[in-house]
A and B are shown apart, each in its own frame.
Chain A
Amino acid sequence: MHNINAIYKKELRSFFTSPMAYIFLVVFALVNGYFFTNTFFLYNQSDMRALFGIVPMVYLFFIPAVSMGLISREKGIGTIEIISTLPIKERDIVIGKYLAGFTLILISLFTTIIHYFTLIKFGTTIDHGAVFTGYLGLALVAGVYTSIGVFASSLTENQVIAFIVGIAIVLVFFLMDKLLYFVPASMAGIIQYMSTEFHLSNISRGVIDTRNLIYFGSIIGFFLFMTTRVLESRKWS
């Protein structure tokens, strides 16, 4: 446990000692703020649906960018040999790094809370529960995309490749829901279940179903497990 914590602290520190974290946070806040306020006063509706619709799109690029360096950079500069020969299990390295990336993304998600205050100020009959589940859904999707980003980062020592592979895999999960028209009916159920959008929309509607939670948990677990295996594979190179 203290190893996960040591890795977590190191990663978070390295996010915030470079300008990277601040740039990410500002860009994320600006992009989401722009798309939210653009339509908020126009539609004249007391909800945050516009925001919850745009954040997953921004995530598509934002999360692979945050996580691309988590492991690939260590491979690139050779420090992977340092952490791999410290008494830390590969699993703990992966979890520590994952949690650090996830934390940065939660912080960025937190910047959008300001729109909630705008809503309270101007809105009437606000459904606070829907706002809460909306945020919960976004956090869970962020968790899935971060695990994909960490996995992509473990495959290469080149951050740009990690970024592109990350986007590609995230896109598959993002688009599955939109592909349903093109797949045979027998497959549709499975494909729909695999898609993040399907589970996100369930939660955003205010329904917290264990099936959705199990989905998010198992996808995160799967990618973190695969990342651990990729890290361990160096031993048999």
Chain B
Amino acid sequence: MIKIENLTKHYGDVKAVKSISFDLEDTQIVGFLGANGAGKSTTLKMMTGYLTPTNGNVYVDNKNIIDHSIEIQKMIGYLPELNPLYGEMKVHDYLKFHADVRGITGYDFNKSLEKVVSECGLQGVVHKTVSNCSKGYKQRIGLAAAMIHDPKVLILDEPVTGLDPNQIVEIRELIKRLGKQKLVLMSSHILQEIQATVDRIIIIHNGEIVADGTSDELINDSKGLSELEIELLDADESKIKDMKAKVPSINVKSIMTTDSKSKKVTLEHNSNSDPRKDVFEYVVKNKWTLIQMNSSKRNLEDIFRKLTKQGVKADA
């Protein structure tokens, strides 16, 4: 569907995007993750024809953005960062304007309007003025305008920034529904947001792609340390510390005594090993009571931090 080839953008001496390449398939939700200033928006702006690449190209359905920007813009729906809208317009008129440009008129417009209004939950505000709507509604108006022509590709730049938690959940659900029928590419600098919504994550840092895959793939690839947390009754501390002798794959990181006289122990182990069985057997042998065991896999946040830090080092 979309093919990005050696895409590069320089603003004067600043290299915002450095020769990135990736492919996107038909129906999936792809998250574009990176810190502020990593080059996310610049990449999206090149994909939508707002900026011309310094080098490289974007292909949508085998058409390239430099020679066929109008054709590509017809296939794409785009919600820019900060969601600019014409505040003085009525919501209905704003959507009508987008439909007019897309060549959707008359009966087709009524049908499309009905569809996006119900999909985006705009029933209550269709005849209101845009500037009088709440931020959550404005975001949905922007989305509705971007999808009025039922595009194959939706590009959303930071779609949930500035929304309250309830609104975030609503927009997230909406994006998930859309991802079943379309290719949705959304950017965010908020990791939890991306993790909760997308099928595939592309992490960009300093204008380069530093990771690309599903959330699980990224975690498994990273070969870091995982944590195992257990809570024990009637256990004594010195014996807990000896655990390493019997279960060599672990390290005792911390031991904490709780109010209810149980001990919370945090163990560290290599992500590709699973010491749970050995730990359990050690506990049984010592006749302690195991009341809780939590295996916390390395989370994406650590990986994100590690990747984006590495990037800085490699760059320096």
Chain A residue at minimal CB-CB distance from B155: A85
Judged by a CB distance under 8 angstroms, whether A77 is at the interface is yes
Contact of A9 among B51, B52, B78, B100 (CB under 8 A): B100
Chain B residue at minimal CB-CB distance from A81: B80
Judged by a CB distance under 8 angstroms, whether A178 is at the interface is no
Whether A81 contacts B74 by the Cβ 8 Å rule is no
Judged by a CB distance under 8 angstroms, whether A236 is at the interface is yes
Judged by a CB distance under 8 angstroms, whether B102 is at the interface is yes
Whether A87 contacts B89 by the Cβ 8 Å rule is no
User: For chain B, which range describes its interface: under 10, 10 to 19, 20 to 34, or 35 or more residues?
Assistant: 20 to 34
Whether B93 contacts A87 by the Cβ 8 Å rule is no
Docked complex Cα distance between A3 and B48 (Å): 18
Contacts of B101 in A (CB 8 A): 2-3, 6-7, 86-88
Q: Report A11 CB to chain B, min CB distance, Å.
A: 10
Judged by a CB distance under 8 angstroms, whether A235 is at the interface is yes
Judged by a CB distance under 8 angstroms, whether B133 is at the interface is no
Judged by a CB distance under 8 angstroms, whether A124 is at the interface is no
Whether B73 contacts A236 by the Cβ 8 Å rule is no
Docked complex Cα distance between A87 and B74 (Å): 6
Contacts of B91-143 to chain A: CB distance below 8 A: 93, 97-98, 100-103
Judged by a CB distance under 8 angstroms, whether B82 is at the interface is yes
Whether B100 contacts A85 by the Cβ 8 Å rule is no
Chain B residue at minimal CB-CB distance from A78: B84
Contacts of B275 in A (CB 8 A): none
Contact of B84 among A10, A18, A79 (CB under 8 A): A79
Q: Is the interface of A mostly helix, strand, loop or mixed?
A: helix
Judged by a CB distance under 8 angstroms, whether A210 is at the interface is no
Whether A85 contacts B97 by the Cβ 8 Å rule is no
Contacts of B50 in A (CB 8 A): 81, 84-85, 234-235
Whether A17 contacts B89 by the Cβ 8 Å rule is yes
Whether A81 contacts B88 by the Cβ 8 Å rule is no
Judged by a CB distance under 8 angstroms, whether B56 is at the interface is no
Judged by a CB distance under 8 angstroms, whether B213 is at the interface is no
Judged by a CB distance under 8 angstroms, whether A237 is at the interface is yes
Docked complex Cα distance between A13 and B102 (Å): 19
Chain B residue at minimal CB-CB distance from A86: B101
Evaluate whether A6 and B100 lie within 8 angstroms (CB atoms) in the complex, with A17-B88, A17-B89, A237-B11 already known: yes
Q: Report A15 CB to chain B, min CB distance, Å.
A: 10
Judged by a CB distance under 8 angstroms, whether A229 is at the interface is no
Docked complex Cα distance between A78 and B74 (Å): 21
Judged by a CB distance under 8 angstroms, whether B225 is at the interface is no
Whether A86 contacts B80 by the Cβ 8 Å rule is no
Chain B residue at minimal CB-CB distance from A235: B52
Docked complex Cα distance between A77 and B138 (Å): 14
Chain A residue at minimal CB-CB distance from B90: A17
Binding site for A on B (CB under 8 A): 11, 45, 48-52, 70-71, 73-74, 76, 78, 80, 82, 84-89, 93, 97-98, 100-103, 145
16 A–B contacts, CB within 8 A, in A order: A2-B103, A3-B101, A7-B101, A13-B89, A14-B89, A81-B50, A81-B84, A82-B84, A84-B49, A85-B48, A85-B76, A86-B98, A86-B101, A87-B71, A87-B102, A234-B51
Given contacts A2-B100, A78-B84, 19 further A-B contacts (CB under 8 A): A2-B103, A9-B100, A13-B93, A14-B88, A14-B89, A78-B80, A79-B84, A79-B86, A81-B50, A81-B80, A82-B84, A85-B73, A85-B76, A85-B78, A87-B70, A87-B73, A87-B101, A89-B70, A237-B51
The 3 A-B pairs with the shortest beta carbon distances in the complex, nearest first, are A78-B84, A6-B100, A87-B73
